[in-house]
A and B are shown apart, each in its own frame.
Chain A
Amino acid sequence: MKRILHTLLAAALLALLPRAQAALTIEITGGAEGALPIAIVPFGVEGQGLPPENVSAIVTNNLKRSGRFAPLPEKDLLARPHQGSEVNFRDWRALGSDYLVVGKVRATAGGQYNVQFELFDVFRGARITGYSIPAGAQELRRAAHQISDIIYEKLTGQPGAFNTRIAYVTVSNVAPKQQSYALQVADADGYNPQTILTSKQPLLSPAWSPDGTRLAYLSFENKRAQIYIQEVASGKRELLASFPGLNGAPAWSPDGTRLALTLSKDGNPEIYVMNLASKILERLTSNPAIDTEAAWSPDGQRIVFTSDRGGKPQLYVMPAGGGNAQRITFEGDYNARGRYSPDGKLLAMVHGARGQYRIALLDLETRALRVLTDRTLDESPSFAPNGAMIIYATHDGKKGVLAAVSVDGRVQQRLLLQEGDVREAAWSPFGRRLILQQ
């Protein structure tokens, strides 16, 4: 009883703590049916000093937002165990929870914490997994995301992508016809937004380096499109491409040593690959049409790109060293900005048909095309690193918003910014992991 009071008190105090305002609020707009029932008991708090983050609440929100889980409402919890020895499986079976998560956050010396959690299969009455994660105060959200990843992977068979970030561009009107652009990076749940660049001129096409430390992007700050690469942590950046004409569509090679880009310095937009160490350029396409929006296959063997060489924009695939390009989209009169899924089996794209621009997925094996979204001006698809979701930009009334959809189309989310437009989202690779202890 005393323990329960203690927990309640801790929860109440937690709720009173000032917390970082989410820049992006994420709401599920469709598809919770078929979600796995799971009970996540608010984690116990032990030791001196309250943790600055509510770890179990972050886990609950993550799992709920994924659309794959239906966390039991907190008010329905009959018991508040914090470790396996306190669990009575019969209680949880009665509640219809298939799975149960319990844990505690223990303050250790020097502002450090130890986050313990255990995942149980309620019907079998068996422990599935459990770890202890040492984390600093600033790492508690990361620990919560990592716990979410572990639960997600154990129960869906697919790695979680909660411990990731999203880069996106915000646009706000500072005066009539005068915009302020910002390149921001936030955790995948919308928290910890950080502005890494502001400009009075357009910013677009952010692309994460495969190690997640740098972003390549386009900036018009010098009155034309140029490509920069910026270190996310330090803000240090380098002007990479400033050739005459267009400098666009940066795309990292999977090994991070090269960047595919679009340049029109030789007359019209062509795809080049720049070696990032030597800065030597290699031209991959040679066609009087527009060739742009390169993206590498995950194995680095092929490059997909947009070309209107057939009269209208369609997707083509060529060997990563250049050479024969084969058209791969045939449905719809507009297919652009192809992006490979992390397993290389699917291509996401902007698919235009009958005046509607939507996100579609092409199965590269069966060549079947599935339209995933249902609005009219959807663009800029970007896969989560686990391949489960695609984030993209769309409109909500007059406002530019981000949305995400699961590859099966069932789960839909909307990511809203309180003020202004948000667009051009890029989902980061998997984030740095904290060390797990058994």
Chain B
Amino acid sequence: MKRINQLLLIVLPAALLFGCPAKPVKQEGVAVEERGAGLEGGVTQGAGGDGTFAGTELDDPSSPLAKRLIYFEFDSSEVRSEFRFTVSAHARYLSQNPEAAVTLEGHADERGSREYNLALGERRANAVRSLLLAEGAASAQIQTVSYGEEKPVADGHDETAWSQNRRVEIVYTRR
């Protein structure tokens, strides 16, 4: 949860900076790095403490769209019920904003083999994609990419880290 908040805090100032909602944000790979760098600190002040907010629904920290991470069980690509609401919110946004587009980044934890994890990350991304499509998003709005176990967000070698690394990140490439 803390992570999601942090993510949000980073997405927010970027959105404020760009202002125009139609302006494309950066490519997914670069975004991952920059967001990662942001997690190290120094970005939080941009969120502002006074609650004023001047962005689109996508930038609203209280919107379900603010949640962009779906977590998975080990060796599973089943989207658990607790994440269905988040996925539905993004499906709704995509169907209401046909110009918007996302890249779904699939990830795995470090256990087992790297190539199998690459395939697993893709299957996770595809699982989220299927749900988005079923709930009204168009296939042209969705790209998928798998990083397997290559881009962990948590460095540890235990379940605490692994549970954070088994994820799909919803990255808006157009809004």
Do the two chains bind? yes
Interface contacts beyond A248-B115, A268-B123, A269-B122: sample of 17 additional A-B pairs, CB < 8 Å, sorted by A: A176-B36, A176-B40, A178-B36, A204-B115, A223-B28, A225-B146, A246-B122, A292-B118, A292-B119, A293-B115, A306-B113, A306-B116, A336-B112, A350-B112, A352-B112, A377-B111, A398-B157
Interface string of A366-402 (1 = CB under 8 A from B): 0000000000110110000000000000010010000
5 A–B pairs (Cβ distance < 8 Å), ordered by A: A175-B37, A177-B33, A293-B116, A350-B112, A352-B112
B174 at the interface (CB under 8 A from A): no
Across the interface, name the chain A residue whose C-beta is closest to B103. Answer: A223
Q: How far is the CA of A245 from the CA of B120 in the complex (A)?
A: 12
A337 at the interface (CB under 8 A from B): yes
Q: A246 and B113: CB pair below 8 A?
A: no
Q: B119 and A223: CB pair below 8 A?
A: no
Q: A350 and B113: CB pair below 8 A?
A: yes
Interface string of B20-53 (1 = CB under 8 A from A): 0000000111000100110110000000000000
Interface residues, chain A, CB within 8 Å of chain B? Answer: 175-178, 200-202, 204-205, 220, 223-225, 245-246, 248-249, 262, 264, 268-269, 290, 292-293, 306, 308, 312-313, 334, 336-337, 350, 352, 357, 376-377, 379-380, 395, 398, 424
Chain A min CB distance to B120 (Å): 7
Choice from A176, A201, A395 contacting B29 with Cβ under 8 Å: A201
Chain A min CB distance to B165 (Å): 13
Given A220-B147, A377-B111, A377-B157: A292 touches B36 (CB 8 Å cut-off): no
Q: A248 and B118: CB pair below 8 A?
A: yes
Across the interface, name the chain B residue whose C-beta is closest to A313. Answer: B116
Q: A379 and B145: CB pair below 8 A?
A: no
Contacting residues, chain A, for B27 (C-beta < 8 A):
223
Contacting residues, chain B, for A246 (C-beta < 8 A):
118-119, 122, 146
Q: How far is the CA of A355 from the CA of B57 in the complex (A)?
A: 42
B73 at the interface (CB under 8 A from A): no
Given A223-B29, A306-B113, A395-B157: A248 touches B40 (CB 8 Å cut-off): no
Q: How far is the CA of A298 from the CA of B97 in the complex (A)?
A: 54
Choice from B40, B113, B147 contacting A177 with Cβ under 8 Å: B40
Interface residues, chain B, CB within 8 Å of chain A? Answer: 27-29, 33, 36-37, 39-40, 75, 110-116, 118-120, 122-123, 126, 144-148, 150-151, 155, 157
- 10 closest A-B pairs by beta carbon, nearest first, are A177-B36, A223-B29, A202-B150, A336-B113, A337-B113, A290-B119, A269-B119, A176-B40, A249-B115, A336-B116
Q: How far is the CA of A262 from the CA of B116 in the complex (A)?
A: 10
Given A201-B29, A306-B113, A357-B111: A262 touches B150 (CB 8 Å cut-off): no
Q: How far is the CA of A264 from the CA of B150 in the complex (A)?
A: 19
Q: How far is the CA of A269 from the CA of B126 in the complex (A)?
A: 12
Q: How far is the CA of A352 from the CA of B39 in the complex (A)?
A: 33
Q: How far is the CA of A406 from the CA of B136 in the complex (A)?
A: 56
Across the interface, name the chain B residue whose C-beta is closest to A350. Answer: B113
Q: A313 and B112: CB pair below 8 A?
A: yes
Given A177-B37, A290-B119, A357-B112: A204 touches B155 (CB 8 Å cut-off): no
Q: B113 and A379: CB pair below 8 A?
A: yes
Q: A262 and B110: CB pair below 8 A?
A: no
Q: How far is the CA of A232 from the CA of B31 in the complex (A)?
A: 32
Q: A202 and B37: CB pair below 8 A?
A: no
Chain B min CB distance to A414 (Å): 18
